[in-house]
Amino acid sequence: MHNRMEEGLLVSETLKVRVWVESKKIWRVAFPSILTRVSAYGILVVTQAFMGHIGETQLAAYALIQIIGIRFANGILFGMSSATETLCGQAFGAGQYHMLGIYLQRSWIIDLTAATLLVPFFVFSGPIFRLLGQDEDIAEDIENISLWFIPILYYFVFSLTIQKYLQGQLKNRIVGWLGAASFVIHVFLSWLFVIKWNWGVPGAMSAMNISCWLMVVGEFAYVFGGWCSETWRGFTKAAFIDLLPVIKLSISSGVMICLEFWYNGVLILVASYMTNATIAISAFSICINIIAWELMISIGFLVAASVRVANELGRGNAEAARFSVKVISITSLCIGLFFAVLCLIFGHSMSYLFTSNEEVAESVSSLSVLLALSILLNSLQPVFSGVAVGAGWQSVVAFITIGCYYIIGVPLGLLLGYVAHLQITGIWTGMICGVVTQTLVLSYIIWRTNWDDQVNNAANHLNRWLLKPSEETNESPTHA
């Protein structure tokens, strides 16, 4: 009996040590990523807050183009850059350091093409939203505001891909500090341009563009300045080799993330056809932006899950990948529970950060329970998506997302919102049902996964796309 007690204590202590060691590895990736995501999304939210003080029509127009247009574009580009995260993370784990720079350049080629294809949507956003039946006043403001978002498309391309490249090699701390600095600069510039100098919409949008591109300049300086000497060997023609399989992975990644990001946008569009649409859009968009800002924390854990799983699969350590998934899931769930409780307590007060309209604030307050539940669910779902990115399951998750969100969530939201006359509450309830279904399906898949098979799959992919250092050098790179 005494020996069994000692063995139990030893196992308990060993587990504590393993959890502590794994937690340090997770937070090494997650904290800078959280800081980056919160700061980057904070720039969009702060801009929305200043738009709300410029006028309610401008707020509604900004909400529509940001949550539908920018969320859609960001979903595609964020998703496509997650292919870079998969490849860089697994290559770094396997010790193929020289391949990271090549994967980064391939992602630039592919993502720049995708961003350019998205530009016409922002150029012709006014006619598109008029065709969808938007009020003329809102459509006119959308037409003006959307053009300011075009530079943001190209900011997404470089910022997201460089972040994935740095995260894969555990060097994303610099990105966190750059993101925080950009956010502080943005708050100051927004106050200066909108409040002090009264430049209105051009002032708010100029502040956003300047702040975002300052971050990209800092990332370029870090990569080209010699801080990534093992993984960045300059520009090379090798970036144009084996583009097709990377394009396939990028497209499946883009579809997976885009379907998730655009889900809320579809529901915002549906809400815009309700009675008193301006109030409905404003209130719902404020709630969605609160969710999305907290989601930036969960995306930090998505990144941590992706990097940890990819690194361990690249190293051939199936057990470490499995254990990491468990620790990340529990950690993210605890944080989500904390923020859900905060929303229940301060649901009414936080609405005044985004609007001075009492009717909008009351509408936001009435949705606080759904807001808290969404935040709790979003603490798990991104982690499971991160596991999928790390293992390279993007195409499978894309099909699951279509079924759960667009076959279950959206139709159910429409039925509850319009047929059952629950309005915004009904639409949001349908959305939550879709998220619950997807989370349950992904958790089952991860639980049933044979991680030894995933190690073999990762090894096969890396070996198929590997260029030896000598082969890369023979391609005559041009050094930055």
- pLDDT attached to residue 295: 76
Residue 450 Rama label (left phi>0; alpha psi -120 to 50; beta):
beta
- pLDDT attached to residue 12: 59
User: CA torsion sign, 290 to 307 to 324 to 392?
Assistant: positive
- pLDDT attached to residue 278: 67
Question: Is residue 13 within a helix (H) or strand (E), and if so which, with residue range?
Answer: helix 2-54
Bridge partners for 478 per DSSP? 235
Bridge partners for 235 per DSSP? 478
DSSP track, 90-113: HHHHTT-THHHHHHHHHHHHHHHH
Burial 338-372, CB ≥16 within 10 A → b, else e:
ebbeebeeebeebbeebbebeebbebbbebbebbb
272 alpha-carbon distance from chain centroid: 24
Residue type present at position 296: M
User: Is the pTM value of this prediction over 0.95?
Assistant: no
Dist CA 446 CA 429 (whole Å): 26
SS3 of 124, please? coil
- pLDDT attached to residue 216: 94
Taking Cα atoms as reference points, which of 303, 312, 290 lies closest to residue 428? 290
- pLDDT attached to residue 277: 61
- pLDDT attached to residue 153: 94
| Contact in structure between 77 and 163 (CB atoms under 8 Å) | no
**SS3 letters for 459-472?**
HHHHHHHCCCHHHH
| Contact in structure between 243 and 106 (CB atoms under 8 Å) | yes
Spell out, as residue ranges, where the chain has pLDDT lower than 70: 1-13, 261-262, 264-265, 267-278, 280-281, 347-348, 354-356, 461, 464-466, 468-480
Query: Helices H, strands E: what count in the chain?
Result: 20, 0
| Contact in structure between 234 and 478 (CB atoms under 8 Å) | yes
- pLDDT attached to residue 379: 86
SS3 of 378, please? coil
| Contact in structure between 360 and 351 (CB atoms under 8 Å) | yes
- pLDDT attached to residue 452: 86
Burial environment of residue 220 by CB neighbours within 10 A (0 to 12, 13 to 18, 19 or more):
middle
- pLDDT attached to residue 480: 36
284 alpha-carbon distance from chain centroid: 20
How many CB atoms are located within 10 Å of the residue 373 CB?
18
User: CA torsion sign, 111 to 44 to 256 to 334?
Assistant: positive
**Could you give phi then psi for residue 235, rounded to 5 degrees?**
-70, 140
Taking Cα atoms as reference points, which of 169, 186, 281, 280 lies closest to residue 228? 169
User: CA torsion sign, 55 to 58 to 64 to 67?
Assistant: negative
